[in-house]
Chains A and B, each alone.
Chain A
Amino acid sequence: MSNETVRAYVGKRIKELRTAYGEDGISQEALAADLKVAANTISRWETGTYEPTLDDLERLSRFFGVSIVQFFPQVEEQDPKSKKVDALLRAAQSLHQDDLDELRRYAEYRRARSLQKGTKQRKRP
Chain B
Amino acid sequence: MSRSEYYRQMRLLAGQIRDQYGLQTPRVLKSDLRRIYKDQGIHIDLWPYKLRKLRGAYFNDAEGASVMLARGLPDDPMIFTMGHELKHHLVDRDSIVALCDPSNQSAEIEIGAEIFAAEMIYPESMFRDDLLRLGVTMGSCTAEQLVALKRETKTTLSYAGIAKRAEFLGFAPQNSLAKVAWKKLEESIYGVPFYKQRLAARMHSF
- CA–CA, A82 and B34, complex, Å: 26
Contact between chains at A95 and B97 (CB < 8 Å): no
Count of residues in B whose CB is under 8 Å from the partner chain: 22
- CA–CA, A79 and B45, complex, Å: 22
Q: B residues within 8 A CB of A89?
A: 97
Contact between chains at A114 and B52 (CB < 8 Å): no
- In the assembled complex, the CB of B71 is this many whole angstroms from the nearest CB of chain A, namely 12
* Proximity string of chain B (70-106) to chain A, C-beta cutoff 8 Å, 1 when within and 0 when not: 0000000000000000000000000011010101100
Q: B residues within 8 A CB of A30?
A: none
Q: Besides the contacts A79-B61, A94-B103, A94-B104, what 20 more A-B pairs have beta carbons closer than 8 Å?
A: A81-B62, A81-B96, A82-B61, A85-B59, A89-B97, A92-B99, A95-B99, A95-B101, A95-B103, A98-B52, A99-B53, A99-B54, A102-B47, A102-B50, A103-B57, A103-B68, A106-B47, A106-B57, A107-B59, A110-B45
Please report A residues at the B interface, Cβ cutoff 8 Å: 62, 79, 81-82, 84-85, 88-89, 92, 94-96, 98-99, 102-103, 105-107, 109-111, 113-114
Contact between chains at A105 and B96 (CB < 8 Å): no
Q: Which residue of B lies closest to A58 (CB)?
A: B49
* Proximity string of chain B (130-157) to chain A, C-beta cutoff 8 Å, 1 when within and 0 when not: 0000000000000000000000000000
Identify 15 residue pairs between A and B in the complex whose beta-carbon atoms are under 8 Å apart, listed by A's number. A82-B61, A88-B96, A94-B103, A94-B104, A95-B104, A96-B52, A96-B101, A99-B51, A99-B53, A99-B101, A102-B50, A102-B51, A103-B54, A107-B59, A111-B63
Interface residue from B45, B52, B62 paired with A82 (Cβ < 8 Å)? B62
Summarize B's interface: helix, strand, loop or mixed: mixed
Q: A residues within 8 A CB of B51?
A: 98-99, 102
Contact between chains at A114 and B97 (CB < 8 Å): no
- CA–CA, A14 and B15, complex, Å: 50
